[in-house]
Amino acid sequence: MSRAIPQQRPDLVGAGLEHLTLTERLQIAAIRKSFEPGVTDRALRWCQRNLGQQWIYHSTKHLCETYGLERLPELDPAQSYICASNHRSFFDMYVITTHLVRRGMPHRLVFPVRSRFFYDSALGFAVNGLMSFFAMYPPIFRERKRAFLNQLSVDELTYLLDRGGCFTGVHPEGTRNQGEDPYTFLPAQRGIGRMAHATQAVVLPVFINGLINDLPQQVLSNFNGKGKKVNVVFGAPVPLDDLRAQPASKGVDKAIAERVMEHIAQLAREEHQLRFGTPLPSTPQVTAAVSAQAAE
């Protein structure tokens, strides 16, 4: 039994009227409206496919290798997809989706993003528009007093996914993993499980390794031969029918999120073999990380 999905679209601006600044309300309202069918939506889709992916691809093409694209299904324009990856760099989803767009993905892209900077300033709005053509939506709030708004952000993504034709990139870890070992993970968070359980979106796991968090240096290293190799490993869709058949609960949401992370971890082992030519060693650090996720 799946959750009931709201018939009316969630209104983050209205619900957060007393907790959002004028700048935040205006930006959220403008990007929210751009998802309605019409000229703006068509223009942003065209820009994402023809401009956004071009500069990202050419800024990483000398470093980046992709694997596993043959495992992906044909990306149906009417079907919704959740792309789930580990999170080491600010640019993970940009690079991942660039290769899907080049493969013919027709969907408009949307990635949840922290509200600070991207939604509380004019510069953040400009960066969102120029770098991603407003793919960075909806906002996620870190402040405790505004944490209740995050549920509405999840509901907004769920609404867009259930409507069909939506492609969203999500990091099950919930935040960027700043640890030294790229083959360990933070515990999976329930948000992706809630969205996957409430909709029929296809969940595509991905592991990416090699990007850094300095954009100018990342682009420069693509051309000067000093950059680290970037591997993107795609997996087959995560099977979820058994969990979707269960009644909605926090436990089921967590189980879905953990299963998705297990598939990402398997791709991490594959990437290690590709990068180093050896199996990923079963070190205490890796074992502990996997065990912590399974125990929650």
Tell me, what CATH number does 44's domain have? 3.40.1130
Please give the pLDDT value at position 287: 37
CA distance 196 to 256: 8
Instruction: Determine, yes or no, domain membership for 289.
Output: yes
Q: What is the pLDDT of residues 191-245, one digit of tens each?
A: 999 999 999 999 999 999 999 999 999 999 999 989 999 999 999 999 999 999 9
Q: How far apart are CA 89 and CA 26, in angstroms?
A: 28
Could you tell me if residue 24 is inside a domain?
Answer: yes
What average pLDDT does the segment 171-181 reach? 92
Choose among 163, 165, 105, 160: nearest CA to 137. Answer: 160
Res. 5: pLDDT tops 70: no
Question: How many other CB atoms are found less than 10 A from the CB of residue 212?
Answer: 15
Range of the domain at 253: 12-295
Residue type, 142: R
Position 174 in a domain:
yes
Query: Considering the domain boundaries, does residue 4 fall inside one?
Result: no
Higher pLDDT, 6 or 19: 19
Q: What percent of the chain has pLDDT over 90?
A: 87
Please give the pLDDT value at position 280. 86
Contact in structure between 80 and 199 (CB atoms under 8 Å)? yes
Gap between the Cα atoms of 71 and 87, Å rounded:
21
**pLDDT of 37:** 92
CA 126 – CA 118 distance, rounded (Å): 8
CB 234 within 8 A of CB 204: yes
What is the per-residue pLDDT for 290?
43
Domain membership flag for residue 3? no
Asked if residue 1 has pLDDT above 70, the reply is: no
* 30-69 confidence digits (pLDDT tens): 999 999 999 999 999 999 999 999 999 999 999 999 999 9
Strand order across the 108-114 sheet: 64-67, 230-234, 202-209, 81-85, 166-170, 108-114, 136-140
How, if at all, do strands 202-209 and 81-85 pair?
parallel
Q: Is residue 77 part of a domain?
A: yes
Based on the structure, what is the number of domains in the chain?
Answer: 1
Say if 5 falls within a structural domain. no
Beta pairing partners, 257:
none
